[in-house]
């Protein structure tokens, strides 16, 4: 295939720009034209390449590129060609005149060689180019219109064709022109977007992956589809159709360059992707409807959620001072008020952006909307200050809170599928609080469509994973997870329960809120308004013959006491606390009034954890650490070598951030005779840490440095979350 000669960088850049949303900017196009020129000159072994664009009634030189072989390392010659290039870029040609004009007018390529009858014309071009012209290829840039041309001159003599291009060279240049045309047309006319079938064809050609145009062309494994599940297929946009081995599959994708989705699919299913075929978005939608008839039309994407237009309407409506108080009756239907549409769009946009939290923050002069994505808050938009009361009131109505109470904090829950027409099945945990400039609202997104991940996908090191799996299979005792809000404690607990969830085990949970629904597990939602607390749920569970009990959080002395009692009476209890590391968890339980000997007798393990941002695998930069970084690595791991840092410019895969996704780090402290003795003696936290490390515990800092060594994150990210250990 001709396109196989094009360098991977060119192919990827063109593809990303062709299918990107919104349309590429002029800077995007200029950079890709420059890249195309350099790479195609190299691929064709050409001596020069020129891009022409129609501007009004004239043809402009947009890019002139010369092969370094023309300079032969001679700075005088190089300067001469630079001057020639500068002069050409100032020239304008009349439309319809000359070779380029003919190509643009007829939309047909022109191929000249010295051996052809046009040889005298070729010789005359030497005066313009500054070197002898032996062969020329000129192809049009066209989509529904023709708006330019690409011209290459002279094949290198070293190519063995006596300096003349071949028919294969013409085919390659035409193919490149086809992709470049689509890109440039999108810049010239932002309304121009290739249809789904054309886009799929571009993707297939530029990735050298097979294109599937009909469902009949592929083998379908119904059982594989059923095992994978509707939610994962829709969320990741990946349709597994054939099992290649027990742990690998062949899949269909619209955008096979979305490696984040591919990784997420593999983690969720524990199946690697061995083969990828390209399908159009239209065919993918047809496939979903065929196999999941009862489901809604497909996963919501950023293209489905238009937040900007609604925000503009809101800004216009609320820009003056004459906006009156909005009543509850005004906020009942999405069709009745723009504020309802905006509130829904914010939630939908946050969901498709991968946010974990939404912050609605009143400021002195405006209302700030921020999302927390991959652990960092990012500003989304600012609205007029007058919007605050209306939006907060709407959110309170959605979660059935008291709209008249603005002086006290309130907690609630939104079941969002009641309010959206899109395929977004999420709940939101809502907290409101009075601030200086108005009520602030924070919403935690609980994705009910998102399945729990298997334990190996959570970032456990091999050593910690083996120890943790042994702990969760103990017949009784207490397993505690600690860390700040948003550190992944709940996901780890759910994943652990998923491993031990068998028909012969009775698992019961007390949660506030229920974040994931697990088949085969009895889950109870806490409700403090009616007195249903963790302590009361625990007392209830002790009379319901449980094997494993999960308590969402140990918050008070009563819950701690009953939890220890459950662990000492033949039950495996798992729960969470908010402490900084594993050893300090023991002290925290003691502060809640639990006797040291009860703690040591019941404790199986404590797992402290954090989530670090993953460095983007597509654009990360390798380097050798020096100075303090090298010293930190040596002290933590006894190793120093090549590691990676984030690319400041990022890439399309990571949206220019340099990071994509998150990975867990863990500090697993398992009980032992020495640790039991230390707890009974009420040893200091530092002493407990020394004992645990002596028995093989790797600290959060050490595990974070291990993730740096593995190329999963960066030193900067690790140190910003976990400081170096004082004890090593």
Residues 427 and 463 in one domain: no
Residues 353 and 470 in one domain: no
Q: Over 70: is that where the pLDDT of 432 sits?
A: yes
pLDDT tens digits for range 270-318:
788 999 999 988 899 888 888 875 444 445 555 555 566 666 666 666 6
H or E element: which one contains 42? Answer: helix 26-44
Judge whether 486 and 612 are in contact, CB under 8 Å: no
Residues 363 and 421 in one domain: yes
What is the spatial distance between Cα 255 and Cα 238, in angstroms, rounded to a whole number? 9
Q: Over 60: is that where the pLDDT of 34 sits?
A: yes
The backbone region for 154, taken as left when phi is positive above 0, alpha when psi lies in -120 to 50, beta otherwise, is left
pLDDT tens digits for range 379-418:
998 999 988 999 999 999 999 899 999 999 998 889 888 8
Answer whether residue 42 is part of any domain.
Answer: yes
What is the spatial distance between Cα 319 and Cα 317, in angstroms, rounded to a whole number? 6
Answer whether residue 647 is part of any domain.
Answer: no
Residues 460 and 443 in one domain: no
Name which of 444-453, 506-515, 543-552 the model is least confident about: 444-453
At 311 the pLDDT is 67
At 21 the pLDDT is 44
| Residue 533, domain CATH | 3.40.50.300
Residues 226 and 317 in one domain: no
Residues 334 and 441 in one domain: yes
Q: Of 306, 432, 305, 291, which Cα lies nearest the Cα of 358?
A: 432
| Residue 273, domain CATH | 3.30.300.160
Answer whether residue 119 is part of any domain.
Answer: yes
Residues 46 and 66 in one domain: yes
Answer whether residue 297 is part of any domain.
Answer: no
Answer whether residue 546 is part of any domain.
Answer: yes
Answer whether residue 717 is part of any domain.
Answer: no
At 627 the pLDDT is 92
Residues 224 and 271 in one domain: yes
Q: Over 50: is that where the pLDDT of 6 sits?
A: no
End position of a domain, from candidates 447, 464, 482: 447
At 575 the pLDDT is 95
Judge whether 138 and 149 are in contact, CB under 8 Å: yes
User: Count of residues for the chain?
Assistant: 728
Strand 135-142 to strand 146-155: parallel, antiparallel, or no bridges (unpaired)? antiparallel
Name which of 76-80, 324-328, 553-557, 594-598 the model is least confident about: 324-328
Instruction: Work out the widest C-alpha separation in the chain, in whole angstroms.
Output: 101
Q: How many domains does the chain have?
A: 4
DSSP 327: P
- Residue 661 sits at φ, ψ, to 5 deg, of 85, -175
Number of C-beta neighbours around residue 146 at 10 A: 17
Name which of 137-151, 210-224, 329-343 the model is least confident about: 329-343
Residues β-bridged to residue 65: 49
Domain that holds residue 55: 3-194
H or E element: which one contains 659? Answer: strand 659-670
Q: Of 380, 381, 361, 382, which Cα lies nearest the Cα of 372?
A: 380
Answer whether residue 388 is part of any domain.
Answer: yes
Residues 187 and 252 in one domain: no
Judge whether 181 and 12 are in contact, CB under 8 Å: no
Answer whether residue 618 is part of any domain.
Answer: no
User: How distant, in Å, are the alpha carbons of 139, 522, 543, 607 from that of 539?
Assistant: 79, 15, 7, 25
Roughly how many angstroms between the first and final C-alpha of the chain, as a whole number? 57
Q: Of 613, 627, 643, which Cα lies nearest the Cα of 705?
A: 643
Residues 182 and 247 in one domain: no
End position of a domain, from candidates 413, 447, 481: 447
End position of a domain, from candidates 267, 291, 315: 291
| Residue 394, domain CATH | 3.30.450.90
Those residues whose C-beta lies under 8 Å from the C-beta of residue 260, and which sit 6 or more positions away, are 653, 660, 661
Residues 473 and 427 in one domain: no
- Residue 525 sits at φ, ψ, to 5 deg, of -90, 125
pLDDT tens digits for range 109-127:
988 876 555 555 655 665 5
Residues 494 and 518 in one domain: yes
pLDDT tens digits for range 540-577:
999 999 999 999 999 899 999 999 999 999 999 999 99
Strand 58-66 to strand 603-615: parallel, antiparallel, or no bridges (unpaired)? unpaired
| Residue 67, domain CATH | 3.30.450.40
């Amino acid at each position: 295939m001709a396109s196989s000669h094009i360098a991977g960088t060119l192919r990827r850049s063109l593809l990303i720009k062709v299918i990107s949303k919104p349309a590429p900017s002029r800077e995007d196009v200029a950079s890709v034209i420059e890249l195309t020129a350099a790479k195609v000159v190299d691929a064709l072994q050409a001596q020069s390449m020129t891009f022409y664009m129609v501007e009004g009634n004239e043809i402009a030189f947009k890019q002139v590129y010369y092969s370094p072989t023309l300079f032969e390392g001679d700075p005088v010659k190089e300067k001469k060609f630079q001057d020639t290039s500068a002069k050409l870029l100032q020239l304008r040609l009349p439309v319809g005149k000359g070779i380029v004009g003919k190509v643009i007018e007829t939309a047909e390529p022109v191929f000249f060689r010295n051996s052809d009858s046009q040889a005298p014309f070729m010789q005359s071009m030497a005066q313009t180019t500054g070197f002898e012209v032996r062969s020329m290829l000129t192809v049009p840039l066209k989509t529904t219109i023709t708006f330019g041309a690409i011209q290459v001159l002279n094949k290198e003599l070293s190519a063995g064709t006596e300096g003349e291009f071949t028919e294969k060279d013409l085919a390659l240049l035409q193919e490149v022109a086809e992709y470049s045309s689509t890109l440039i047309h999108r810049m010239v006319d932002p309304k121009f977007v290739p249809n789904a079938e054309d886009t799929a064809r571009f993707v297939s050609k530029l990735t050298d992956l097979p294109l599937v145009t009909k469902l009949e062309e592929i083998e379908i494994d119904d059982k594989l589809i059923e095992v994978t599940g509707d939610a994962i297929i829709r969320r990741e946009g990946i349709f597994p159709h054939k099992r290649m081995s027990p742990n690998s599959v062949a899949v269909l994708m619209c955008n096979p360059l979305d490696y984040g989705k591919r990784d997420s699919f593999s983690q969720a299913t524990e199946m690697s992707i061995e083969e990828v075929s390209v399908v159009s978005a239209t065919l993918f939608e047809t496939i979903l409807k065929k196999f999941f008839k009862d489901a809604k039309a497909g996963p919501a994407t950023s293209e489905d959620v238009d937040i900007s237009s609604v925000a503009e309407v809101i800004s216009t409506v609320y820009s003056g001072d004459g906006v009156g108080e909005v009543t509850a009756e005004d906020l009942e239907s999405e069709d009745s008020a723009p504020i309802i549409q905006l509130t829904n769009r914010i939630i939908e946009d946050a969901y498709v952006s991968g946010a974990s939290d939404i912050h609605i923050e009143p400021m002195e002069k405006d209302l700030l909307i921020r999302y927390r994505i991959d652990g960092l808050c990012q500003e989304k938009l600012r609205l007029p200050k007058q919007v605050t009361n209306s939006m907060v009131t709407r959110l309170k109505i959605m979660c059935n809170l008291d709209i008249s109470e603005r002086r006290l904090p309130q907690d609630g829950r939104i079941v969002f599928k009641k309010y959206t027409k899109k395929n977004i099945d999420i709940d939101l945990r809502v907290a409101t609080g009075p601030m200086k400039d108005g009520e602030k609202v924070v919403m935690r997104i609980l994705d009910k469509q998102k399945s729990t991940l298997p334990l190996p996908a959570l970032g456990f090191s091999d050593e910690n994973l083996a120890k943790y799996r042994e702990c969760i299979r103990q017949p009784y005792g207490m397993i505690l997870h600690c860390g700040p809000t948003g550190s992944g404690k709940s996901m780890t607990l759910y994943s652990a329960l998923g491993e031990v969830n068998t028909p012969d085990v009775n698992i019961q949970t007390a949660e506030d809120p229920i974040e994931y629904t697990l088949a085969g597990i009895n889950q109870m939602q806490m409700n403090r308004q009616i007195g249903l607390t963790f302590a009361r749920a625990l007392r209830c569970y002790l009379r319901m013959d449980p094997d494993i009990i999960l308590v969402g959080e140990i918050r008070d002395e009563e819950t701690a006491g009953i939890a220890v009692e459950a662990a000492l009476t033949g039950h495996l209890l798992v729960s969470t606390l908010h402490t900084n590391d594993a050893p300090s968890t023991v002290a925290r339980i003691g502060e809640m009034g639990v006797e040291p000997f009860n703690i040591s007798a019941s404790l199986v393990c404590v797992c402290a954890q954090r989530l670090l941002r993953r460095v983007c695998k597509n654009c990360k930069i390798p380097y050798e650490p020096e100075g303090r970084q090298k010293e930190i690595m040596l002290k933590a791991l006894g190793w120093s070598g090549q590691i990676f840092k984030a690319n400041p410019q990022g890439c399309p895969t990571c949206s220019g951030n340099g990071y994509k996704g998150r990975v867990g780090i863990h500090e697993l402290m398992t009980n032992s005779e020495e640790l039991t003795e230390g707890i009974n003696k009420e040893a200091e936290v530092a002493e407990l840490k020394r004992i645990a490390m002596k028995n093989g515990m790797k600290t959060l800092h050490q595990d974070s440095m291990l993730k740096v060594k593995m190329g999963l994150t960066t030193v900067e990210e690790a140190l910003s979350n976990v400081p170096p250990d004082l004890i090593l």
